[in-house]
């Protein structure tokens, strides 16, 4: 049974059909003591089945230490959205509800290699002189 409803799958396929370049989802999980770990992996499997330009790599957070270090995943479940370049996009927890839409937007942005930020925002970001670590936290309430 898919976690993505049939009518939603059709709409997602339409959104993803014009992806110019492939996107990889790198997912870290573990089998025990991870809330929504199994559901997150299943959701990502269902999503990647909807486009031939999406691939999913799944790694065990405890066993695949080298991959964990390579991608700087520091909690699970973790999903990294990237192509040939790592843009630093990380989703921790299950990307369901409003976060699922953000995941789709991130996939499309990474595929295009651009974002929908305004030029003014891009200019301000270019002016930053030190690295910034930004996290957006949400709660399902």
- 93-122 pLDDT tens trace: 999 888 999 999 999 999 999 888 899 998
Share of the chain above pLDDT 70, in %: 96
Neighbours of 41 (CB within 10 A): 19
pLDDT given at position 47: 97
| pTM assigned to the model | 0.89
Q: What is the mean pLDDT of the chain?
A: 92
Write out the two tokens for 43.
């959701």
Write out the two tokens for 16.
């993803």
Write out the two tokens for 10.
């059709």
The closest of 42, 8, 5 to 27, measured between CA atoms, is 42
pLDDT single digits (tens) 1-38: 688 999 999 999 999 998 999 999 999 999 888 888 99
Write out the two tokens for 80.
């990294």
Is the pLDDT assigned to residue 128 strictly greater than 90?
A: yes
**Residues 105, 77: Cα–Cα separation, whole Å:** 19
Domains and CATH numbers, the chain: 6-126 (3.40.30.10)
**Residues 44, 62: Cα–Cα separation, whole Å:** 20
pLDDT given at position 135: 80
């Amino acid at each position: 049974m898919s976690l993505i409803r049939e009518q939603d799958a059709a709409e997602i396929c339409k959104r993803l059909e014009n992806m110019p370049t492939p996107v990889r989802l790198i997912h870290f999980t573990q089998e025990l003591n991870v809330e929504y770990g199994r559901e997150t992996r299943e959701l990502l499997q269902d999503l990647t089945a909807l486009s031939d330009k999406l691939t999913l790599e799944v790694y065990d957070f405890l066993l695949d230490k080298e991959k964990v270090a390579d991608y700087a995943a520091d909690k699970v479940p973790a999903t990294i959205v990237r192509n040939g370049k790592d843009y630093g996009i990380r989703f921790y927890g299950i990307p369901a509800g409003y976060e699922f839409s953000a995941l789709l937007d991130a996939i499309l942005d990474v595929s295009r290699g651009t974002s929908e930020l305004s030029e003014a925002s891009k200019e301000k970001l270019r002016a930053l002189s030190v690295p910034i670590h930004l996290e957006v936290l949400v709660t399902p309430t």
